[in-house]
Chains A and B, each alone.
Chain A
Amino acid sequence: MKKSALLIGELNMVRLLADSLIKKQYKVTAIISDYKECLIMAENDSVTVINGDGTKPSILEEAKAQNNNVIFALLSNDADNLVAGELCKKKFHIKKVVALVSDSKKMEFFYKMGFDSVVCVSSTIMCNIE
């Protein structure tokens, strides 16, 4: 059976990751809050696009969040990624939740709250420099 992934975020980030996941044979659903960005994303027939706030249970339900193997919370606000990820874990019982954080000091807190993987862009850049 094909694996499924749910991506919550803005177009640029979602589009790049969606392409990679589709190449790896994933069925991809994307939740994007900006309607114009949704229309651009929907040009890719392989992606199911939902327009709305991915931090709301009703939108996650519409996106059939519970049917996914993994979710990626890729929003620009750490609090939004925390809430989206926690809802997916606690309410929709998704096994693997990955979140992006902008403040590296919050990485440990996200892991403590049950996230399976936390990615911080600034920390990753610093690791590469060092």
Chain B
Amino acid sequence: MKLFANKEKDYTVIIGCGHLGSTLATDISDRGRSVLIIDRDEDAFRKLSLSPFSNIVPLTGDGTDMEVLNCEHIDKALWIVIVTGNDNTNIMIAQMVKEILKKDCVIAGVHDPQCECLYHEFGIRMLSPTALFANEVCNRLMESSKEAM
């Protein structure tokens, strides 16, 4: 299966097509970049607008399965973003990609920052939507209280 034969080093793999994964895939595609999005539930791809002009390729498969991760598309991807709905699953996939496929270009989403130490230990880039939201709300509150003074 040659999904991105012409520009094989210029695509992103997203594992997990929930709200976060589908929004991210659409954003990247709108900027003219190719995306391979993987989810074990085919229905999850209904969140995407897969027009003939879209740069998104959906692939049904379990992101925790070694056979899915070992495929050449993951190996050749520019970035791999892991945003399934489960923090522990994200940690496991990120570690599998890093330790077995020896790829450093991994970003994993984690909602509960409690397990942050595991990301640091294994050198995995982590982004917490919870921390980002809290930080943004906090900044806005500080800004509005400054304006009120």
Report if A91-B91 is in contact (Cβ < 8 Å); known contacts: A79-B64, A79-B86, A109-B96.
Answer: no
Instruction: Tell me whether B99 and A113 are in contact (CB under 8 A).
Output: yes
A36 within 8 A of B: no
Measured CB to CB, the closest approach of chain A to B37, in angstroms, equals 20
B118 within 8 A of A: yes
A 19-52 contacts with B by CB, 8 A: none
Segment at the interface with B among A5-13, A64-72, A80-88: A80-88
B117 within 8 A of A: yes
Give the interface of A toward B (CB within 8 A).
55-58, 77-80, 82-83, 86-87, 90-91, 103, 105-106, 109, 112-113
B 50-88 contacts with A by CB, 8 A: 64-67, 86-88
Q: Can you list 12 pairs linking A and B with CB atoms under 8 Å apart?
A: A55-B115, A79-B86, A82-B91, A83-B92, A83-B118, A86-B118, A87-B117, A90-B117, A90-B121, A109-B66, A109-B96, A109-B100
Q: Who on chain A is nearest to B91 by CB?
A: A83
B95 within 8 A of A: yes
When chains A and B are docked, how far (Å) is the Cα of A112 from the Cα of B96?
A: 10
When chains A and B are docked, how far (Å) is the Cα of A91 from the Cα of B114?
A: 12
When chains A and B are docked, how far (Å) is the Cα of A113 from the Cα of B89?
A: 15
Which residues of chain A are within 8 angstroms of B92 by Cβ–Cβ distance? 78-79, 82-83
- Contact partner, A87, options B64, B96, B112, B118, Cβ 8 Å: B118
Q: Who on chain A is nearest to B100 by CB?
A: A109
Measured CB to CB, the closest approach of chain B to A69, in angstroms, equals 22
Report the count of interface residues on B (CB-CB < 8 A): 20
Which residues of chain A are within 8 angstroms of B96 by Cβ–Cβ distance? 109
When chains A and B are docked, how far (Å) is the Cα of A87 from the Cα of B117?
A: 8
Q: Which of B86, B88, B118 has the most CB of A within 10 A?
A: B88
Report if A106-B66 is in contact (Cβ < 8 Å); known contacts: A56-B112, A80-B88, A113-B95.
Answer: yes
Known: A103-B65, A105-B67, A109-B99. 15 other contacts (CB 8 A): A55-B88, A56-B114, A57-B115, A79-B64, A79-B86, A79-B88, A79-B92, A83-B91, A87-B118, A90-B121, A106-B66, A109-B95, A109-B96, A112-B99, A113-B99
Measured CB to CB, the closest approach of chain B to A103, in angstroms, equals 8
Q: Who on chain B is nearest to A83 by CB?
A: B88
Mask, B103-146, CB within 8 Å of A = 1, is: 00000000010110110010000000000000000000000000
Which residues of chain A are within 8 angstroms of B114 by Cβ–Cβ distance? 56-58
